[in-house]
Structure 1
Amino acid sequence: MDTVSVEELRRNGHAQDPGRSRGRSLEEELEGFIRVYKDGSVERYSYVVANVPASEAQQEPVLSKDVVLDQRTGVWARFYLPRNAVSRGTRLPLVIYFHGGGFVLGSPAWSIYHVFMCRLASHTNSMIMSVGYRLAPENRLPAAYDDCFSAVEWVRRQATQQLQRSNDSWLSSHADFSRCFLAGDSAGGNIVHNVALRCARADVKPLQTRGLILLQPFFGGEDPCKRELETSETNPNLSQRWVDVFWKLSLPVGAKRDHPACNPLAMPLRDLSLPPVIVIISENDLLKQRNLDYCQALKNGNKNVSHVIFKNVGHAFQVLNPDSQRIPELLSVLGDFINNNRSSSR
C-alpha cells in the first residue's frame, strides 16, 4: 500500500469553491460549505473556515502533530501536548476528542477546532487526540462511529505496547492511559455517546475511561420538541434548516429520526455501564431540550450524570464564537471534571 500523508487526507474534499458545477442537478447545499448533487457527487470547500497545519515550533505553548491511524479508511488524528509536560516529563490525562459538523462537515485541521484544542490542552493540562473521521453523505452513519471506535482501539494498542515502547513517542512518554476521557461537541458529542456504548460492551483495557464529556450533543427525534419549532433567530449558530440537512445526509438510507443514531432515547440505557458523564448545554441552543431530555434519561437509568447550562450563548459557542467571555468558565468546568474523576467507576 502506498503511504498516504496526513496533509493529503486533510486536503481531500476541502478544495476551494470552484463555482457551481454545470450540468448537474443540486440536491442539497449548505451555503459556503458543501454541495451535494443528485448524481451522488459532493463538493466541499474551505474558504469559510480555513485549515491550519500542526506545529511543533519552539515558541508554541502547546505542541501539535498529525498522525495517520488507518491508511485504508483515511482516519487520522491531531495530537496536542502542553510544552510544560515535555520539560517536566509528566504523564497527562488523555482526552480523545470528536469534532462537530453534523457528521457532514468539520476537521481537526479547521482553525476553530485547532484554537479550541490548544486552549483545552493548556487549561486542563491534558494531552488531546482530535480524531479526523469519515464524513457523510459519502460515508453515512455508522461510519463515524466505526472510525472513532477504531481510534480508541488504536490508542488501546499503543497502551498495550507501552512496556515495549509505544509506536508513538508522545503517547509512550506523556499519556496516562489510566486516565482517558471521551469528549466531543455537537455531532462529536453524539459520537461520544455511541462510542461509549461500544466501549461498554468491549474490552478496551488497559485503557481506563474515567469520564464522558458531551458539549451540546447533536441528538434528535421524529417528533419535534417545542424549541425546535421556534425560529432560527432565537437559536444562534444552528438553524432547523441545517439540522434537517445534516440528518438527511448522515442517517442510513431510509432511516427516520427515531433511529438510535439520532435519538439515544430509542434504546434502553439502564443496563449499560458508563463512567461519569457531563453534558454542556447552551441556553440559546436549538438542541437545549434534547440535551436536557438525554440527561434525564441517564439519571432515570441510574447513571452518574451532571449538566451545566451556559447562559446567553448558542450552539457550539466554544468553537463558533472563539471570543466568547464564557469560554474561560467552560474550560474551568471541564478542567474540574477531568481532575475530579481520577479513579474509574467501572
Structure 2
Amino acid sequence: MANSDSKGVMVDLSPAIKVYKDGTVVRLSGSPFVPPSLDDPTTGVSSKDITISPSISARMYLPKISDPNHKLPILVFFHGGRFVVESAFSSLHHRFVNVLVSEARAVAVSVEYRLAPEHPLPAALEDGWAALQWVASHVVEGSCIEKEPWLVKHGDFNKIYVGGNSAGGNIAHNMAIRAGVESLVGDVKILGGFLSHPYFWDSTTKKENNEESMPYKVFMFAYPLAPGGIDNPMINPLADGAPKLSGLACSRLFVCTSQKDQFREINLLYVEALKKNGWKGELELVDVDGEDHCFEVFNPETEKSKSLITRLASFIRD
C-alpha cells in the first residue's frame, strides 16, 4: 500500500485519498459542503449546525411541524465515506437526510465524526458513541449539557434510531453492539437501526487478492493498529471473538444491499448470522437488483432510490 514516486506520494488510495511524504492529506473524492437551511424549498425541512463537544459537531434536521405536541422519532445518523472522506455537511448527505427526514417525520442528528488518517479508527466510533450519549442525556433532569430545543420539544426518546450508509452503517451497527454491553445515559434504549450497504469486510469472503481490494486497503489505512487486522470485530462482525450478534441492542433492524455492491456477500452473511445467533428482533432486508453501492445517496431521484427511501422512512416512522 505504501509507495513513493516523483511527486512524493507515500500512500495512494485513489480515488479516495492520497497522503504525501510531507504529511499532506489530499481527499480526492467527497461532495462540497453546503449550508443548513431553516426552510428547505423542496422538503420544508429545517436544518442547523450544532456543537456536541470540542471535537464533535452535527447537523440537525426537523420536518415541518403540524402538531407541536406530537413527538417524533429521533434518528442519529452517520454518513458514509470509507471512514476517510465525506461529511455530515456535504451536499450528498445533506440532500439524503433532508429527504429522509421529510418522509420519515423524524428529528435527525447527523454526526460529524472525525476522519482518518488524522484521527485513526476507532476515533469515529468513539465520536459516534459520544454523540449517542449526548442525545440520551436530554432525558436526564439537571444534566450538565446545554439541551437542544428541537430534541426537547419534538423528540420521542422511546423511539431512538441509529443508522447510516457504508461506513456510517458500520458505525450504526457498532453503536447497537456497544449499547448491548454499556448503558446509555438515563437507561435510554435504541429502538431500531438501519444499515445501508454497511462497510463490513473479512479475510475469507473475498479470497482472491483480498489484500489488494480497496475495502481491505482503506480499512487498514484508517485503522493500522487494528487488533486482528481485517478480522477485527469492528469491520468483521462475524469474526471469532466478536461480540455476539444476539446482543445487538435494538428490537428492529433494516438492512439494505444491492446486486452490484462489493459488500453484498458479507452483508447477506451478516443477516443470516443475525437469524442464526438468537437475535430476536424484527428484521427487514432489502436487496435491490441492478444497483450499486449506496445508490440511494448518490442518485436519490431514480425510481429505485425513491422506493428504497420510502421504505426506510416507513420503517422509522412506524
Which category describes the TM-score, using the shorter chain as reference length?
0.7 to 0.9
Match of 2:98 among 91, 113, 118: 118
Amino acid at match of 1:257: I
- Gaps spanning 5+ residues in structure 1: where? 1-20, 231-239, 341-346
Instruction: Select which of 268, 285, 309 maps to 1:292.
Output: 268
Summarize the alignment of residues 219-258 of structure 1 with structure 2, pairs less than 5 Å apart.
Answer: 219-225=200-206, 241-253=213-225, 255=227, 256-258=229-231
Equivalent residue number for residue 35 of structure 2: 53
Match runs of 1:1-346 below 5 Å: 24-31=8-15, 33-44=16-27, 49-57=31-39, 59=41, 61-71=44-54, 74-84=55-65, 88-161=68-141, 167-204=147-184, 205-225=186-206, 241-253=213-225, 255=227, 256-266=229-239, 267-275=242-250, 276-303=252-279, 304=281, 305-340=283-318
Please tell me whether the aligned partners of residues 159 and 166 of structure 1 are also in contact (alpha carbons under 8 angstroms): no
What whole-Å deviation, never above 9, does each CA across 1:302-333 have from its counterpart, x for those lacking one?
Answer: 21233111121110011112332112211222
AA matched with 1:247? F
Q: Secondary structure at the match of 1:134?
A: coil
CA contact (8 A) 1:218 1:287 kept: yes
Once residues 180 and 144 of structure 1 are traced to their aligned partners in structure 2, the CA distance between those partners, rounded to angstroms, is 20
Asked whether the 8 Å contact 1:30–1:242 carries over to 2, the reply is no
Distance 2:246 2:101 in 1: 33
Structure 2 residue aligned with 1:234: none
2:33–2:89 contact (8 Å) kept in structure 1: yes
| Cα distance in structure 2, aligned partners of 1:164 and 1:103 | 31
> What is the TM-score when the length of structure 2 is the normalising length?
0.87
- Larger mean Cα displacement after TM superposition, 161-170 or 125-134: 161-170
Query: Aligned equivalents of 1:45 and 1:243: distance in 2?
Result: 16
Tell me how many residue pairs correspond in the alignment.
Answer: 305
CA deviation map 1:270-320 (0-9, x unaligned) = 551532222111121111111000001111112123311112111001111
Alpha-carbon distance between aligned partners in 2 of 1:159 and 1:334, rounded to the nearest angstrom: 26
Q: SS at 2:137's partner residue? A: helix
Question: Is the alpha carbon distance of 1:138 and 1:165 closer, same or farther for their aligned partners in structure 2, counting shifts above 3 Å?
Answer: closer
Give ranges in structure 2 of 5+ residues lacking alignment.
none
CA RMSD of aligned residues (A): 2.7
Change (3 A) 1:201 1:57: same
Amino acid in the other structure paired with 1:246 = V
**1:233-252 deviation per Cα after TM superposition (whole angstroms, max 9, x unaligned):** xxxxxxx7532432132124
Would you say the 8 A contact 1:82–1:126 is kept in 2?
yes
Distance between the aligned counterparts of 1:185 and 1:25, measured in 2?
30
Q: Which whole-Å deviations, capped at 9, do the CAs of 1:15-57 have from their partners, x for residues lacking one?
A: xxxxxx99633322423x53212454312367x6211001114
Shift in alpha-carbon separation, 1:245–1:150, aligned structure 2, 3 A:
same
Aligned-pair distance for 1:109?
Answer: 0.9
CA distance in 1, matches of 2:294, 2:209: 20
- In 1, the alpha carbon distance for the partners of 2:26 and 2:99 equals 31
Query: Would the aligned equivalents of 1:279 and 1:308 in 2 still touch at CA under 8 Å?
Result: yes
8 Å Cα contact 1:269/1:298 also seen in 2? no
| Separation in structure 2 between the aligned mates of residue 270 and residue 55 of structure 1, nearest angstrom | 39
Matched residue of 1:315: which SS? coil
Give the whole-Å Cα distance in 1 for the aligned partners of 2:124 and 2:36: 23
The answer to whether the 8 A contact 1:180-1:208 is kept is yes
- Tell me, yes or no, if the aligned pair for 2:201 and 2:216 is still in contact at 8 Å: no
Q: Secondary structure at the match of 2:114?
A: coil
Do the aligned partners of 1:94 and 1:128 also contact (CA within 8 Å) in 2? yes
Structure 2 distance, partners of 1:324, 1:58, is: 20
Q: How many angstroms apart in 2 are the aligned matches of 1:164 and 1:187?
A: 31
Structure-2 separation of matches of 1:22 and 1:159: 56
Normalising by structure 1, report the TM-score: 0.80
Q: Verify the 8 A CA contact 1:28 1:245 in the aligned structure 2.
A: no
